Structure 1
Amino acid sequence: MTTVEERFLPEECWECILKRFLNECDDYNRYLQSLSILSKQFLSVTDRFRLSLIISNETIPLLPRLLQRCTNLTSLNLTRFQGDLDRLLCQISCFPLNFTSLNLSNQHTIPAHGLREFSKKITTLTSLTCSNIVSLHNNDLVLISDCFPFLEELDLSNPKNIHGKVNVMFLVLPKLRKVNLSGCYSINDRMLLHLCKNCEFLREIVIPNNLFVNPNGIAFAIRERPGLRSLTFSGTPGRVILVTNFPQHFIDSLVSLKGLTCLELSCLHIPDDLLYSIAMEGLPLKRLVLGHCTGFTSDGIHHLLSKCQCIQHLDLQKATFQDSFVYHKLSLCLGNLVSINLSHSNHLTEITLFTLVGRCPLLNEIYMENTCIGQMVFQLHKYSSLLNFVINPQMKSLHLASNTLLYDNINNIFASMCPNLELVDLSNCVCISKGIVQVLRHCKIMHLNLSSCPKVNLHGMNFEVPKLEVLNLSMTNIDDKTLYVISKNCSGLLQLDLEKCYNITEKGVKQVVKKCTRLKEINLRHCCKVSTDVALWMEMVLSSLSLRKIKTPPHFCPSHRKWKPLLNHGHGCILC
């Protein structure tokens, strides 16, 4: 006779089963929570699959338990934490974990004491991100080198204030492979040369565009690293372009990088000579970014693309030559294209979009924000032969925000041409109304952004949209009837943004929270008709096991004693 225990599989068996299942998922993290709520045994198993942890202030009371349970963590993100970082890092260092990645971005300073203690116990770190630090000092660079001498990736981008002339010559990181120095405006040519000379494994570098760095200096530096695979030298959109020409010495050094697969030269003046030279050498580029650049022509970019046909990611936003005829010609060279950004052009219409979708079989992501899509709507009959037969099953993401001429009939064409669409961004498309329902009917939408679309109407959605997880309806005129439709047909919803939806009430919100059983986050900021009655909110929060964050409407004052039972019920939902 078997015992009760013998009827259950041991955790090792479940771990093998779940590992096999999760390995076949594109984003297995989405499934971990669902599996973990089935049983305590599954919770124990899934904890071992968690590789990353994001710590916020609300996480702190649970942190010791989390670090004990999740023993295979390799990535730690502290960007959302606002408090004593030194103390937090010391606390984390007491657990026997093998972190390889640490993100300290958006903090005021580099936590010196905490990092020293952290590095004494955790010696496996290979990636450190310190982006958007308010105050950066030379001492911080010395500290990083001392604490983590085996770093392979370092991001020091966009410090807010640099105290003294931050000198990367203080960095002694012999195994460094990837470094991001964008926004570090005290970096000069001599420092870049030192970095390239002393980091023999360097493969990727992001160089700041400032008064102290010039193409000749870059040329000397990259000559020291012929194995470089990725070079980024970019300005900032809207700022003065500091580099207006690239001398032959720079061009010669650039094309000597025979293994270069990624080149980003945003917000610069690019001559056709540079593009012709790259084409002549046939560099194996897979990613090319010339966004917000001036100087080059359609002939130059066509010559490059015709010779370098391995390009998968192309960014030509705000290029001065853009028109539909040019992209009809360029599309013939883009057989391997996966992603393209053509935003901010007053000359591109839906014809460009249809041409790319039809002629680039591997294309799965398009950015065409703030263009003239919709301008050719009355001439689409001329392209009926193209539209009737083109289907691109690879297309997953369309970013079409701020296309003020985009109408519903164009959306219907998108839906028929791209049946596997998962993400659609139509924010600020003021003419969108009922047509979006057809997109939801015919596609597999998971993420839909309709923010600032005043005419949007979902009342006709009388069918289930089970895959929709993120829905942004902020600053629209939707009402409780719309929320009822959502609650009935969008059972898989995880995030719902209703900020500044002035026509909704607590009745509609309550219905959504009750019926959308996977909902984790809802934004009700500035929803002035939503009541803040404590009984209503207690019922709403307790009715949802999944709800974790509510951005509250105006007049919400949780400091009053009557809210104490709600705030202390232990459900884990944050009201903010």
Structure 2
Amino acid sequence: MATTHLQLPDECWESVFKFLTNSDAGDNNHRHLESLSAVSKQFLSISNHLKRSFTISDQALPFLSRLFHRFPNLTSLNLTRISNDTNLDALLIQISNSPFPLKSLNLSNQHTIPLNGLRIFSKKITTLTSLTCSNITSLRNNDTLFISNFFPFLQQLDLSNPKDIQITDIVVNSMSIKLPKLRKVNFSGHYYINDTLFFHLCKNSEFLEEVVMFKCSFITNHGIASAIRERPGLRSLSFNKLRLFGGNDNFFDSLVILKGLTCIDLSYSYISDEFLSAVAEKGLPLRKLVLQGCFGYSYVGIFCLLSNCRFLQHLDLQNAEFLNDWHVVELSSFLTDLVSINISKCSGLTDFALFTFVTKCASLSEVRMEYTSIGKKCVENSYTLMNFVVNPQLKSLRLAHNTWLRDEDINKFASIFPNLQLLDLSSCNGISEVDIGQVLRKCSKIRHLNLACCSGLKLLRMDFQVSTLEVLNLSESGIDDRSLDMISKSCFGLLQLDLARCFDVTEKGVRQVVVNCTKLREINLHGCCKVAADVVDSIVFIRPSLRKLTAPPGFHCSDSKRKLFLRHGCLVC
């Protein structure tokens, strides 16, 4: 009987690809596309057309024409890794000649905003709706006027944390008028912004939904209250170092007008129980609450708030030192929709709090418990801990700086949380000869493992393949060439390896990793005093996938050699 070969059209495969990539963590979507693109030329073409975001670095500049041809549907570009102002202007001009439907552009971490390149860019690409220029060394009136005049359709603008700023009130008022479509602004670190400027921003921006203004000390409670009354459609507010005493002041009265408020960040503010209770009574539809570093409130206030706001997905109570394990038992019953929680620097919390949250909060995928008492043995909790079973939903667990943690605790967590993708155990000095290999065997989906500053860690035992591990941080640990030998044989999918200040690592171990880890893109050898400086030359050419190499002590790179390395696609620093 004759059979006909069935070949699906590209449109069907695109739907399949989109389903596969959207079913996992967003940051890892491009990893799935890379794997799929290796199957066939058809899959390569489809995955290239699906790629929407791209980060351009110095070493990619010689290949841009090919990259732009390969990825024709890019909508977001990140240029934060371009180190030279001249290169950035030229790059923007080159981008403007490409038919990208760009919507988002990130120019952060530059000395100045590249006005010459942006001028030409803006004339040819009129689809931009998001511009990020954070951590700019020098920000001036001309910069903000230029943005207002040349990008009138911006909906998101981030000018946060400039190092040197000289901007006048008139320019800020003008910007709020010339950018009528603004929905999200981040002016953190703009110390000159006062109540009047914030009022005009809210008044002039009809569609404003999200405001981030940390480190703006001239904005007062009264000023915030007056401004947000002008914009009742606000959905997210982020301010810090406020003083919120009660529920009978202007700030509270204005806050509860925002019926669509889903996110509020009040980091490092004084907050009274009375204020939290008053907010709770109004039943705001909060999905994200950040009280990191806040003080003045107690368990009474947070209990009242959480018992009335039962749809929270993201909660940050870092530094809430009054919390204990039994408080967590009560609070967790109100947090059934919780996706992520930060309870770092809550020294009264132990393993029991962790297991309670992941058991009662069925959607919880990210937990941050740094500087707590995880690993501390509590007699009253020991029996109850035996009742906890496997919890497959947890994907990210950050336990840095927990001095009570021991090897048996890590193995226990690995058994209970088998689907972990990120595990941070940095500065957990109680970890010594822990069999990390067994942890990786039990947690077979781990992509990111951080063991930095685990000074007692001498050896990683891995006698099997760890195909998913992509990022491994061993900086300032006690590992040596024996560990690197095992890593090189087991972690063939490794993308980033940090060996900074690993004083027992030598050139031999580094070479083994570079030769066997065929996908390696970044390696850090800073402070590795037993690694010969001349190893850099051979490493760059041995591993063509390498994109960044931080050299060991004693390495000196001439301009000509640096350019040679860049031509091979690797930045050596």
> Is the shorter-chain TM-score for this pair beyond 0.5, marking a shared fold?
yes
Between the aligned partners of 1:519 and 1:112, the Cα distance in structure 2 is: 36
Between the aligned partners of 1:473 and 1:519, the Cα distance in structure 2 is: 15
Q: Which residue of 2 is the match for residue 399 of structure 1?
A: 398
Q: 1:560 to 1:302 in 2, by over 3 A?
A: closer
Q: SS in structure 1 opposite 2:423?
A: strand
Q: Which residue of 1 is the match for residue 256 of structure 2?
A: 255
Contact 2:59 2:567 in 1 (8 A): no
Q: Which residue of 1 is the match for residue 521 of structure 2?
A: 520
Q: Which residue of 2 is the match for residue 454 of structure 1?
A: 455
Shift, 1:546, TM fit: 2.8
Q: Which residue of 2 is the match for residue 509 of structure 1?
A: 510
Shift, 1:245, TM fit: 4.1
Structure 2, unpaired ranges of 5+: none
Q: Which residue of 1 is the match for residue 333 of structure 2?
A: 332
Q: How does 1:147-158 map to 2 (within 5 A)?
A: 147-158=150-161
Confirm whether residue 232 of structure 1 aligns to residue 216 of structure 2.
no
Shift, 1:509, TM fit: 1.7
Q: 1:234 to 1:30 in 2, by over 3 A?
A: same
Q: Which residue of 2 is the match for residue 266 of structure 1?
A: 267
C-alpha distance after superposition, 1:334-361 (max 9, x if no partner): 1111111111233222222222222222
Between the aligned partners of 1:388 and 1:456, the Cα distance in structure 2 is: 31
Amino acid at match of 2:554: H
- Choose the corresponding residue for 2:174, options 161, 166, 170: 170
Between the aligned partners of 2:389 and 2:42, the Cα distance in structure 1 is: 49
Shift, 1:41, TM fit: 6.1
Q: Which residue of 1 is the match for residue 441 of structure 2?
A: 441
Q: How does 1:42-57 map to 2 (within 5 A)?
A: 43-57=44-58
Range moving further from structure 2, 435-444 or 393-402: 435-444
Contact 1:339 1:363 in 2 (8 A): yes
Q: Which residue of 1 is the match for residue 139 of structure 2?
A: 136
Amino acid at match of 2:341: I
Contact 2:523 2:548 in 1 (8 A): yes
Q: SS in structure 2 opposite 1:389?
A: coil
Between the aligned partners of 2:56 and 2:448, the Cα distance in structure 1 is: 25
Q: How does 1:145-294 map to 2 (within 5 A)?
A: 145-166=148-169, 167-171=171-175, 172-235=178-241, 243=243, 245=245, 248-294=249-295
Confirm whether residue 573 of structure 1 aligns to residue 566 of structure 2.
no
Confirm whether residue 121 of structure 1 aligns to residue 124 of structure 2.
yes
Structure 1 length as normaliser, TM-score?
Answer: 0.90
Report percent identity of matched pairs.
54
Q: 1:457 to 1:529 in 2, by over 3 A?
A: closer
Structure 2 length as normaliser, TM-score?
Answer: 0.91
Q: Which residue of 2 is the match for residue 412 of structure 1?
A: 411
C-alpha distance after superposition, 1:219-253 (max 9, x if no partner): 11111111111111124xxxxxx646466111011
Between the aligned partners of 1:118 and 1:459, the Cα distance in structure 2 is: 50
Amino acid at match of 1:575: V
C-alpha distance after superposition, 1:505-544 (max 9, x if no partner): 222222222222222222122222223446x953x54443
Q: Which residue of 2 is the match for residue 88 of structure 1?
A: 91
Between the aligned partners of 1:521 and 1:192, the Cα distance in structure 2 is: 43
Contact 1:54 1:77 in 2 (8 A): yes
Q: Which residue of 2 is the match for residue 72 of structure 1?
A: 73
Q: SS in structure 2 opposite 1:136?
A: strand
Contact 1:358 1:391 in 2 (8 A): no
Q: How does 1:342-353 map to 2 (within 5 A)?
A: 342-353=343-354
Contact 1:354 1:387 in 2 (8 A): no
- Which structure carries more relative contact order (alpha carbon 8 Å, separation 6+)? 2
Between the aligned partners of 1:30 and 1:459, the Cα distance in structure 2 is: 26
Between the aligned partners of 2:297 and 2:366, the Cα distance in structure 1 is: 24
Contact 2:60 2:569 in 1 (8 A): no
Q: Which residue of 1 is the match for residue 369 of structure 2?
A: 368
Contact 1:214 1:243 in 2 (8 A): no
Q: Which residue of 2 is the match for residue 490 of structure 1?
A: 491
Between the aligned partners of 1:414 and 1:174, the Cα distance in structure 2 is: 51
C-alpha distance after superposition, 1:229-281 (max 9, x if no partner): 1111124xxxxxx6464661110110111111101111110112221122111
Q: 1:68 to 1:438 in 2, by over 3 A?
A: closer
Range moving further from structure 2, 68-77 or 203-212: 203-212
